[in-house]
Structure 1
Amino acid sequence: MMQKKPKILVLILNILVFQLGYGVNNPHGKQNADVIIYGGTSAAIATAVQLARMDKSVLIVCPEEHIGGLSASGLGFTDLGNKKVIGGISKEFYQEVYKHYQNEEVWKWQPKDEYGNVGQGTTAIDDQLQTMWTFEPHVAEQIFEKFVKENHIKILRNKWLDRENGVKIKDGKIVSITMLDGQTYTGKIFIDATYEGDLMAAAGIGYHVGREANSKYNEQWNGVQKEVFHHGHNFGDRKISPYVIAGDSTSGVLPRISTEDPGEQGEGDHRVQAYNYRLCATNAEGNVVPFRKPESYDPWQYELLARVFESGWRGMFGGGKIPNNKRDVNNAGPFSSDNIGMNYDYPEASYERRKEILEEHKNYHQGMLYFWRTDERVPADIRKKINSWGLAKDEFGDNDHWPYQIYVREARRMIGEFVMTENEIMGRNKVDQPIGMGSYTMDSHNVQRYITKEGYVQNEGDLGVEPEQPYQIHLSSILPKREECSNLIVPVAVSSSHIAFGSIRMEPVFMILGQSAGTLAGLALETDNDIHGVPYKELSMELIKNGQILEYNVE
């Protein structure tokens, strides 16, 4: 291995690079770094931190103004699985959360000793590991910004990749990427840390959108799954008519119900699991911003919800409790915040079209909350309860208290050197080059809402299949095929099937994969290898040295 530069020398070089190459007075010139990261997700921050610790120059270029992705945008009720396989920088993040909430002064809206210590079926505050797994959005953002500051990481925000002409490739390598504002960034290695896989796609890497057929990878849970009900997010045996006039198929179909054929059991399709916003809601007096009426409010959009209530449904918020009398609000029940079927275009859509989709999702969600608050078809006890809740006044202050980031549960998924499938998740196939571990349920939210042959409404695609043990994630699932590109790493839109991604897509795992991506890039630079040529033994030793967990020992 090449000898590392002394840290003080690297610091001086980085300062000079920033002054000479990253100057604000150079708006249309080229800016250089060893590694260019596109995206501002939690994985992007973990990648950058690892590279900085390896004394590599790194630059984050991202569309976001606020970093951290979903971890800092409402998803504070962490999807955990087995927390013993969360190590490295990912674990450090949750240790920072723990440190923050040890201070009694941060408990402004409830006493610390009144906070329920349960999150996703496990202990939320773990004194033994000194980790905390539930948190407020602004706390997460503060921690990511702290990581950035401590490691002298440069971030250029509000930078949007020119997806049509902005990726320059020569001899199978990305040479530079250019933003819509004309700014160009050159590097030796590039990281796509976006949820959407935009850089990957613009570089011509193969990918998939939607569900593969079960036959593609010899899976059970990937394709169409009609009448499979693993959670309560379906109509079950409720016989609710989808028609404008109940029972009359000639009267038209209610909003937000597809009239398309749902497909044959197990076959693949283009459909993507539903997105929603993970609201930070509260009922703490003095911190409540009432759910407001959107300008485009149309109560007819929620006629199906009214019929759900008439059927006896009494649910309200999903998600779970986070500190300071707040709640990370998630989907719950057959008609909720998941905007089923309205995101199919999103993964490959233009920026303009994505903006329309995001606005539609926001209007839908705000309208549903207002419907709950005001419509007389909503049971009075539900209306009374929800009117005591609202958005948290001390969150997302520059965005009308609405989350910055929609929950992109899946978009593009790379078809790389190795494709993770349910067979690896369930332990049927061995992974011989692990770079981290996952353990959460293979979780897919609903993919479509359709009309059954019997003439009733039903949801499809909501699954939860739990692996028996934590599983290993293959190195080559973050690597494009060598012949497609030899200097791009993809730790978020990873190479996996739809159902396998349902487990991998958890924020703690994205941070794990981000750190592993950074380690791989750093070693490639030190040994003058391309990313596919770094010896796995050397990589695994470096990962373990830095706290990554590559295998699980049953106690």
Structure 2
Amino acid sequence: MAAGKSGHSVLLIEPTNRIGGLVTSGLSHTDFHSLESLSGAFLDFANRVETHYAKTYGPDSPQVKASYHGTFGEPKVNLTVFHALLDEQPNVELVHQHLLVALKLTKSRPQRRIESVTLVNPQGNKRTVRGKAFVDGTYEGDLMAMAGVEWRAGREGRDEHGESLAPETADDQLQAYNFRFIMTQDEANRVMPVAPPGYRREDFVGVLDAIASDKIQRVFDYPSKCIFKAHLPVLPGGKYDINDVSRGLVRLSLPGKNLGWPNGTPEERQAIYAEHLRDQVGLLYFLQNDPEVPDKFRQEALQWGWCRDEFLDTDHLPPQLYVREARRMQGVHIYTQADSEYAKEGTRAKFHRDSIAMADYGNNCHGTHHEGPRFGGKHSGEFYNPVPPYQIPYGVLLPKDVNNLLVSCAVSSSHVGFCALRLEPVWMSLGQAAGHAASIAVQLNQPVKQVDVSHLQRNLHADRSATIYVSDVLPDSPDFAVVQWWGAAGGLRKLYSEGTPRKPRGKKLHGQYSEAVPCHAVEMDKTLDEKLDHRWRALAASIGVPPDALPKANGSATRGDFIRAAAAAARQ
């Protein structure tokens, strides 16, 4: 969409018959912490989801409230909104069910370019497409890998990047996958599960010992002591996004079962998909139907089923597996644990002058290895690391040696670093940045690595996409672009006095959601003091803003006056 807005011709290639990835395949309980972290493409999407519910059911309806500002959309609604967004872009052509089978590269390094890609549809018909710029938006990095870009799967050792969350030595372990089922207790919209292909009762008998312990109190609950995590708050329509129980006794995620996914053929990936389906649907079927399951648990489980109005083409089951991590590019900037941790001074995370996106969720890994039996064992490699809101530099999108390719999902990162980037709002922001960067590169006929990041940031800010977290100047503010510009220059660092307590989260609202992160406000109406005036003037001079264009700390000038004046002078 971002590339299409520029006026260039865009081809969007969807390997399946359903656009949207996990956003339309069951991940409806979006991962972020504060609403203030949402901007750009994801915020636009969420606003349209909320508008859909308001128009359909009324602005004060329970459905609008349940959508939590549009961030909790039913998969069918998310799909509708994505199609509506694409319909607004006449320059974007969408093709479904086309797999990448070949590409043509120029031969000389380091100036290699992708000249064309060849696709095949289910009927075996091939189509070759030439392009000036390419964006790999796949979870797996398939285009990147086919282009010969360096990539990695598995975990780095602790010393490689100095990451405390990494293991002592490198290995091939990969964050586990599971399905994000959409389920309901509404009898009128409920479809009862049936035994999946390959179901074997003996595979699930071990869960009986688990539910006999006090560590499992219900089949469905939130957030713990259950088998299926039914996320709260409830989605519109009385639906639940079902997930793996973090640190639980019984897990849906299956570490080790997905190692062949990143570099697998379509057939190999389909086999991994089928094994996860057999395991997770089979577990539910066992709990609902096996006579040895205690009546308390069986009757509770029988109250739940698939949603009759979701995933009509796939028997009401999500068409995609939740691929939390696959290939990771090793590009211009390898994003690591340090990139989302506090800077040495101040209340903010490490500063990236070339930031093209930001987020607030933190490093999150559901485990990479399972020790012990399927039921009652323990995941290892699991962590949930709170961090302050962080910036993401342009280099994570850039291969080292392919000059017209950007990678927006399988981004350049370590395993630990990737665990802070692997979230739907972040991937939308990175996709938006990739689209704008591709447009600039095509327009100026230059390699993507030569795109002027300040130019890219201006385009992103104009498109209401934030490159730094600001809790009190949001995308709907007339000051949004100038504050983001000043933040990109470094003007929002150390705004709070030395010794101010660092708090990575605001006051808890519900579940994983919080108020704005403290000590990340600009306070535009606050009087400009002499100390800040001195520091800001030096910064303005370093980026070419003439001092006589700036207000002085005279007791009446505000921070907002200074930033607006600096931005106006910079434009001139």
Give the gaps of 5 or more residues in structure 1: 1-48, 118-123, 126-130, 224-265
User: What's the TM-score, normalizing by structure 2?
Assistant: 0.75
Q: Give deviations 1:288-311, integer Å, cap 9, x for gaps.
A: 000111231112212332221122
Q: Is the 8 A contact 1:62 1:158 kept in 2?
A: yes
Aligned with residue 431 of structure 1, among 349, 352, 362:
352
Which ranges of structure 2 fall in alignment gaps of 5 or more residues?
Answer: 218-225, 344-349, 471-519, 522-572
Task: Report the Cα offset of residue 168 of structure 1.
Answer: 3.3
Deviations 1:243-274 (A, max 9, x none): xxxxxxxxxxxxxxxxxxxxxxx322111111
Structure with the larger RCO, 1 or 2 (CA within 8 Å, 6+ apart): 1
Residue 501 of structure 1 aligns with which residue?
Answer: 418
1:24-39 map, 5 Å: none
1:466 corresponds in structure 2 to 386
2: CA distance, partners of 1:185 / 1:381: 58
Q: Distance in 1 between matches of 2:359 and 2:179?
A: 24
Q: Deviations over 1:2-34 (max 9, x none)?
A: xxxxxxxxxxxxxxxxxxxxxxxxxxxxxxxxx
Q: Distance in 2 between matches of 1:156 and 1:477?
A: 27
Match of 2:36 in 1: 84
Residues 295 and 540 of structure 1: CA distance in aligned 2, closer, same or farther (over 3 Å) = closer
Give distance in 1, aligned partners of 2:227 and 2:64: 21
- Give the distance between the partners of 1:438 and 1:378, measured in 2 at CA: 43
CA offsets 1:21-76 (integer angstroms, 9 cap, x no match): xxxxxxxxxxxxxxxxxxxxxxxxxxxx1111111110012211100000011111
Q: In the alignment, which residue of structure 2 is the partner of 1:317?
A: 228
In structure 2, the residue matched to 1:414 is: 329
Q: When the two structures are superposed, what TM-score results if normalisation uses the length of structure 1?
A: 0.77
The 1:185/1:106 distance shift into structure 2, 3 A limit, reads farther
1:222–1:132 distance in 2 versus 1, CA, 3 Å: same
> What do the CA deviations read for 1:408-446 (whole angstroms, capped 9, x no partner)?
000000000001111011134432210010111311012
- 2:399 and 2:42 map into 1 onto residues whose CA distance is 24
Task: For 2:385 and 2:325, locate their aligned partners in 1 and report how far apart those are by CA, in whole Å.
Answer: 17
1:479 and 2:398 equivalent?
Answer: yes
Do the aligned residues in 1 keep the contact of 2:103 with 2:114 (CA within 8 Å)? no
Q: Give me the whole-angstrom Cα distance separating, in 2, the residues matched to 1:323 and 1:94.
A: 14
Q: Check whether the contact 1:447–1:460 (CA below 8 A) recurs between aligned residues.
A: yes
Change in Cα spacing, 1:448 to 1:303, as seen in structure 2 (3 Å) is: farther
Q: Deviations over 1:165-196 (max 9, x none)?
A: 43433440000111244311110001100000
**Which of 442, 447, 450 pairs up with 2:363?**
442
Aligned to 1:211: 155
> 2:204 is paired with a residue of what secondary structure?
helix
Query: Is 1:447–1:461's contact at 8 Å kept on the other side of the alignment?
Result: yes
**Aligned partner of residue 133 in structure 2, secondary structure:** strand
Match of 2:74 among 130, 136, 140: 136
Structure whose alpha-carbon radius of gyration is higher: 2
Matched position secondary structure for 2:115: strand
Say if 2:328 and 2:410, in contact at 8 Å, map to a contact too.
yes
CA distance, structure 2, for counterparts of residue 169 and residue 451 of structure 1: 50
Give the match for residue 391 of structure 1: 306
Distance in 1 (CA, whole Å) between partners of 2:103 and 2:439 is 25
The one of 37, 41, 50 equivalent to 2:2 is: 50
Match of 1:279 in 2: 181
Shift of 1:374: 1.8
Contact 1:192–1:200 (CA<8 Å) still a contact in 2? yes
Partners of 2:193 and 2:382 in 1: CA distance: 27
- Trace 1:292-371 onto structure 2 (pairs within 5 A): 292-312=194-214, 313-314=216-217, 315-320=226-231, 321-332=234-245, 333-371=248-286
Among all aligned residue pairs of Structure 1 and Structure 2, give the percentage whose two residues are the same amino acid.
Answer: 32
- 2:99 aligned residue (157, 160, 170): 160
CA RMSD in angstroms, aligned pairs only: 1.9
Query: Which residue of 330, 355, 377 maps to 1:457?
Result: 377
Matches within 5 A, 1:76-115: 76-103=28-55, 105=57, 112-113=61-62
Contact 1:451 1:457 in 2 (8 A): yes
2:190 is matched with 288
Give the paired residue count: 443
Q: Could you tell me which amino acid in structure 2 is paired with residue 508 of structure 1?
A: P
Q: Distance in 2 between matches of 1:432 and 1:214?
A: 27
Shift of residue 115 of structure 1? Answer: 8.1
Contact 1:319 1:331 in 2 (8 A): no
